[in-house]
Structure 1
Amino acid sequence: IDVTNKTSGNILYFNYTNIDIETPISLVLYDTVSFNDFVLKDLWPAFWNSTIKMFQVEFFVKANYHSGKIPYFLFFDWETKLPSSILPEEAQFSIVSKNEDSYGPIITSLKQFPILSRIDITQDTTVGWTFDIIDDYNGFKSGFITVRGSIDGSLYNFTISPSDAIYGDIFNGSYNINITILSRCISQDYIITDAKLYDEQGYNSTFSHASFTTSFIDSLSNPFIYYYGTEETLFKISTFCSSSEDTSPPELYSFEIINGPSQTNPLDVGSNSRDLHLSIKAKDNESGLKKGQTPSIYFSDSNGRVHKCNYITSINEISEFSSEFIFKCTLPIGFGYPYGLFLQVYSLINNGGYFSGFNTNDLSNLNVLFQIPSSLITMSTNYPSISDSGIITVDGGNLWIYGRGFSNINQITIVFDNSTTLFTPLTINKNYNGALYLSNIPSDLSPFYLKFEFQTNKVQIDPFKIIPYPKIEIVDIPDESEELPVNPEQQCQGAPRCNGPTNGYCSTTGCICYSPWIGNDCSSKTIIIPQPTINNTSPTTVVDIPSNNSKNDIIYKSIISIVSIREIGIDGTQIFEKKLEKWVYKNLTDNIYQYHTNITGKLNTTTNIEVTLEWFENESNITFANQVIKMNPSTIKYKIKIENHPFESKLNSLELVMSASIESKKTDNICSSNQFGNTTEGDNANYIKIQVENHSLYGKFIKRGVFDDSNIKSISNQIIFNEGSKNNEYSSNSLIAIKISYFESNVIIDPDFSVLIEPSPASKNSQNSICSSSSKLSTAKIAGIVVGCTVFVAVIIATIVYLIKRKKILYFEAKLKELNK
């Protein structure tokens, strides 16, 4: 698939011997760039396709991933994985990407402001950096940069997104970050210590000044890759403050829970209501609390787990030297049960360069909140809660969700951001208490939540948002080394072979004919006929073949037309068929004319069809799809272009159906036949020959087309059954389906037709022949039979007369003998 500047999808089909079709199987693509361990989000689940009797996995690949073969494995469980390396070549997965971009965004043009080696702070002063963020292909999405004070440990986190750009766009934008330093301060350096930037495809670039491990692992995706060795200069801004008035750190004098749990209303860490609202009051009576710096609360449990909370909903300035910080802390599920929680507070900083922190014992000694005892914490196990989900696309279908408390669920419905509810409940196919497998999820969904109805009359909307992936978009990229179809070698026919040396000669592909001879034995001859009359309503060509005696005496008529277009599914089922009946005609030249039509599909999408007919009066050579093709005299060529067809699936194909027929004025004592096969002249085409008596309509269908303006790919042609056909001995018709695989924007195909005279008329020995009944007698034969019968009757009468006379003579002689006695 091609992932150039776009996320693209593909579908893996596979089967497995002796396996339950309900077995959970997933596809995991190896990340050959970072080699990170996969997580649940990397699992692309398989489901059983009952139509084609195979497992099916739909998956996506990020835009601008690196080209080449991508390893993957089928995941059954942690012990059972099937790597792609042991699978055959046709099961390997390759990517084409003209703009490879697995590197996160990069920072350029980094500059400090003011541009001074040391900044003297005599009044409130703003310092900072300007820089550009570039990501040429994927585009910058979001990120953060952290600046830290070298003495007081003050922390400044800057969240950045393209909306913060001074100018530019996601591919190249200019930004700045700044810090306001009050005149009451200490001399110290402000240093960029951390940065992480994400692009639109999720690739990140990471820098950490404090962590050697992080810097080492992510050194190949460092946003400051252009600034190695400059950390001591560009990354640092030095400030000088004349004096410091402070000699002690900040004080904490109040720490409490605002909505504290009680014995009668304990904190239920098994439910979705796990929020605690806390208040910290602190002061520094010498230099005051440093603005822009806030404390953090830490919760720890008996297992040594720590949960940090720094989500502050408001800051109330009590006085010049005192402030209150209001926190909202959401605890993880089960955190603190059953042994309770201990609390700590850190990162209170003043303007004098001092900071303070308070562990559990310190808080206890201050007689403020230091723990939440086990008696105030409970954990229910019957509240459903989602921790993660599998993958679902906007096509809908099935979805795995993971979490806890799913055993007592009665019903699940979908809720959107605007509180709209889809009242059709989802189907719960599997329930493992910690995982649910849901189906009946409708298509075309925006991000949504799940509403659970459980136990008796309990309703809960889970805060976990499920974001459907875009529709699977699969674009086949032709392998440049792909071999286009070549007709097999054929034995040369005819006596002598190829009717040579005058009509043609024998080659490895079969007979090569000299114009105007044609066919597998070079015995058929192209007829020179007048140019057909232009049809100004449809691309239907009517070829009249006059007798040798009079041009007005039409003895044969052939008709070529375009019937319909239809989409065929991967399993061969017909998705739809549209008859092509209304055309717009345009005359281009005396021998070239054009027709346009369109069909409307789902969501008012339009497929455009353009047919250009060209009449070749003389023999010519044309080039189509990098192949030279000979046009015999009196040939009509159809150039058919189909544009913007909205395939329901990229595994589907189109079939353009054409009709070809020939009819004779003569109706008695003749035969018709039709043939379909491979040509022998090296043009790698199929031919169809529809013959009545000694004339035939000959069509040639090249086995290749031009896809999306430049890609040359194979197409196939086949004869299809025509329910409405009334073929007989004097009239024959065939439908030809030109099968076209998926294309992105357009495809061009190029069949042509001519009329031949055959060396011998069609007979009962011809392929697929229909002949006149032998019981029908011509006038001449009837006359002959009448004459024959007349003679026969005369002979019989003469014989009878002779016998009668002979009898009379014998009788008379006998009488004479008696008289003589």
Structure 2
Amino acid sequence: MIVLLNDYFYSKFGDQANLNVFSNDCFEFPPRVSNLTLLSSNSVTLNSNQTIGWEIVIDSGGGIKISYVFIHVISNLDKKGYTFEFYPNSTSWETTIGIALSPETTPSQIFKIYNATIIDERGIRSDHIDSFKVDEIFSNQSPIYPISISPFYLFDLSLFSITVNSPFITESVPPTITLVTLPFENVDDFLQYSIFFQLVSTDNVGILKSHIPQVYLSHSSNYGDLQIFQCNTAINDTSETTCNYYVTCKVEYGYGIQNPVSVLVYGVVDTSFNVASYSSLSESQTFDFNGLSNKKTPSISSWTPLTPYNNKLTIFGRNFPTSGGSAYLYYTDSDIDNLVTLKFIHSSSVMAVLEIGQGLKPFVVYTQNSNNEKSNKVEIHYLGIPTSSSSSSSSSDDDSTLPPVLCFDNCGGTSRGTCIPNVGCNCKSPYSGINCLSETIKIPKPQTNTTSPDSRNEFPISGSDIKLNTIISIVALRELDFQGKQVNIHYFDSWNFTTISQTNFTYRSPILKNNQHVSNISVAMEWHEQSTTITFAKQNLTINPSTLKYYISLDKYPFASSLNTLDLIIKSMFKSSQTDDVCGSKGFSLNDGNDYMTLQIGTYSFEGKFIKKAIINGNRIVTINNKLLNENQLNSNSTITKEKDSSNQLSSFISIEIPHYDSNVLLDPSFSVLLDSNESYKNSENSICTSKKSSKLTTAQIIAIVIVSVVFVIILALFIIVKFSKSDKFLSIRIFYYKLFKRFKKKY
């Protein structure tokens, strides 16, 4: 094969070898400020309380929505200043940046817009940074990234600053800081505890409440390492000249046991912008936290991964019983009172090896010392085994003890699928399911939702009077610590919509943490009318016809700890118009290397396919877990509501567990509606059923009605005959009914 490069063609044809592409729609300009007006003037004299600032109008210039606006105002005295954040989600947007000032607490100073960032729905941004000296960038080397265009490029720099003249007389004495209450310790859980104390700052003129001081605990270990913990500080009580701060410091177990701890305070500011700091060392004050050193309550901090059928579990922690203690296990799908006593193969105060028996079902384990003090309870899952899909009412799943990679029902035969050992059934399009006995049915494309990536679809089934409804919704993103405890949760309620094509749409939404915009989520939805093969995470995946495909990506996220993970919660709902003589059931299973969520009503099911792979940091492929959240896990988040399941309406919440990552992550679920060869029966394990309501009469009922009717006619005739028996006219009638009565009696 001969390969000719561009250099060859260029040498032959010159500029004609270049491919030039022209477009009439190539608007790439960043968002801008189209109007900037001072609320008063750029020179203000404070004689009374007054608000200074700007009226700002932002325009995308091309009919593109503005997604995010950040503006930071500082002064020559106040470098912390004031920050303003907005999420407009409109093409043209107006707001007021206002700062309230008082002549009694505000010294003369110059305020200015220090920096600003505006981002549109395409991700294109404009940035303004005060005194940005481009020459300094080019003096040594070329910039790595192009210089951003300022959103204020239409306006003169004189509009950016406001000079405030105030009668307030500044003083030079900084405020004082006093430790009001001595630090005391309190156990939060088995792995950390909190230190609480109060500070008070006083000033002759006034304390600036907008400046919250930074408080630290400092401790030097026996090895010479300096250990510093930053604390959370909140204003507890305040007056004009006094401010009380309530301080909480979360520290690791054992902190401060070896050597005393000192308290450091920075950044108490008065209204004259005098800054004060404090060190308990300078006051000859240090504190000992030895109260926990004598506590012997056992605690489990980690454990080794558990492979299927491994009968030994190694746990790590502290204060494990070396003698006279015990360990217990109970399965997550059984009563907590059904405890299994475990044998210690090895035990020290920090590590224990337990004999747990062979199995695949998830379980909870904890230890207990001779004083009946219990450790924390940890839930253990076997590697490669998905979490049980059933709820608390039907969580006893016999199949959970079997390997989830077996092939069932011969994979529907060679025309439907093939069995891959240790993987499961590999189904041929349009068949699906763990046994390939389900077939994707053709349904109409869902209506386009321009407000969120929630998909709602209602359609009739051809040849019947049944209507089906499907709903898919991306609900929330949770940050969990290494114990599975929720650190932060963000609910998605605002999205920016973009149309790529008639079958492809994208949505983007900000992610908040502590009310701060920290990251973004992007969702691309694509409708596949025909069977398609795609590649994701180096896997060739078959997309069945009439399938809705999601591509979900998350930007860099500020994890509170490198041990923390994320949980993306997706809601699915399936509803049928059939209400009589129908059963509904749900399932969650592993097959063909993927997790399958199934909501089945009668002979129809709604299937979600969750690939157990994710791409993180651009090119790294990792294995992830997907699980069906049960009722208890949903109840811990009161904002997430779950409709009650019935025989013709089912819902599920799937959690996609995202590992810790640095820059970005990409996920790939899909959804389709199937026709099942096997109906959801009343004796199915977690079925919800309704009885048949029939208006037709049974055969026995019809026979009884006929007999009663005939007897009634005979009795009526006999009555007439007896009544008129003396008349010669009724003699022939009497003879007829007598013969009829004899024949009826002989027959019945």
Normalised by the length of structure 1, the TM-score is 0.40
Return the TM-score normalized by structure 2: 0.43
